[in-house]
Amino acid sequence: MNYVHPEYLIEAGELATLLNDENVRIFDTSVLLHRSSNAYTAESGRAHYLKEHIPGAGFIDLLDDWSDAASPFNNTLLAPVALAKAIGDTGISADHKVVLYSSGHIMWATRAWWCLHYAGHKNIMVLNGNLSAWRDAGAPLSAGTEHYPATTFNAPPNLNAIVSTQEVEDAIEHQVCVVNALSPELYAGTGDFYYHRRGHIPSSTLVYFDALLENEYFRSPQQLLEALSTANLLQEERVITYCGGGIAATVDAFACKLMGQHNVSVYDGSMSEWTASDERPLTLGDQP
């Protein structure tokens, strides 16, 4: 059994054959998360990139360059026109084959993939196994900074790839499948960490993003099929994924795409935005 869309992933050995391909754009998308008391702080992974990266790879600053600094919520995606400009400034056109990886958690690579997917790019891959897979393969590494020349990115955006709070509220009313990608403790509201208030969005089911991965690799097609089908994600007409701030949710969404669920969206504001208003309900416990 294979993934329905294996072209969304690339293995280290295949990537090694593309290093001299002028139409390929490789990017480190690393972000480091630090937890203190009841909050996470994010730090750019640029310092790690400067120490070692795949030869030729540029760096995408998801925190500053591909996020809306004016938003009260972290990691808010830029509006389509601004995102297209940021993508072009990074050196990506709609014609390039783009490969994304992270030296930290793979969710930052899937987040960058989802940003490009939202912007309308058609040829994007995530390095399966992340930078550690490249390192384990004995492939070469470079240090310092590298850049691709700025260009113009122009493509019709996939606006339904991202949804707002209002769209989530409407989806719940119409019994759309809404999926929480966080840990079982966060979902149930039983852990010592939570986003402003405990619990999960009412009617949403749980598919913990980490259960879809093994050592930064996506699990086998059979394992993903079982995990996603058990939660009914592949059978539903539409799926919306969310997490704390729209990052881990892209792991679930990407896995759905891998396994053929085409109508999947990410709630960009996720719990950070949902819990900002005490009027929005939350459910405690391990049931939707």
Which residues have a Cβ under 8 Å from the Cβ of 185 and sit 6 or more positions away?
A: 191, 193
| Candidate from 94-98, 194-198, 208-212 with smallest mean pLDDT | 194-198
215-252 pLDDT tens trace: 999 999 999 999 999 999 999 999 999 999 999 999 99
Superfamily of domain 6-157: Rhodanese-like domain (3.40.250.10)
Provide the β-strand partners of residue 40: 35
Rounded to the nearest 5 degrees, what angle is found at the Cα of 262, between the Cα atoms of 257 and 267? 80
For residue 196, pLDDT beyond 90: no
What does the alpha-carbon distance between residue 177 and residue 155 come to, in Å, rounded to a whole number?
29
Confidence tier at 38 by pLDDT (50, 70, 90): low
What does the alpha-carbon distance between residue 46 and residue 57 come to, in Å, rounded to a whole number?
12
Instruction: Compute the average pLDDT of residues 102-131.
Output: 97
Residue 282 in contact with residue 275, Cβ under 8 Å?
yes
142-186 pLDDT tens trace: 999 999 999 999 999 999 999 999 999 999 999 999 999 999 999
Domain limits, the chain: 6-157, 160-274
252-267 pLDDT tens trace: 999 999 999 999 999 9
What is the phi/psi pair of residue 141, to 5°? -130, 150
Q: Which CATH class for the 160-274 domain? A: alpha beta
For residue 39, pLDDT beyond 80: no
What does the alpha-carbon distance between residue 216 and residue 197 come to, in Å, rounded to a whole number?
30
Instruction: Compute the average pLDDT of residues 262-279.
Output: 96
What does the alpha-carbon distance between residue 116 and residue 287 come to, in Å, rounded to a whole number?
34
Secondary structure element (H or E) that encloses residue 185, with its range: helix 184-188
What does the alpha-carbon distance between residue 255 and residue 97 come to, in Å, rounded to a whole number?
20
Q: Tell me if domain 6-157 and domain 160-274 are identical in fold.
A: yes
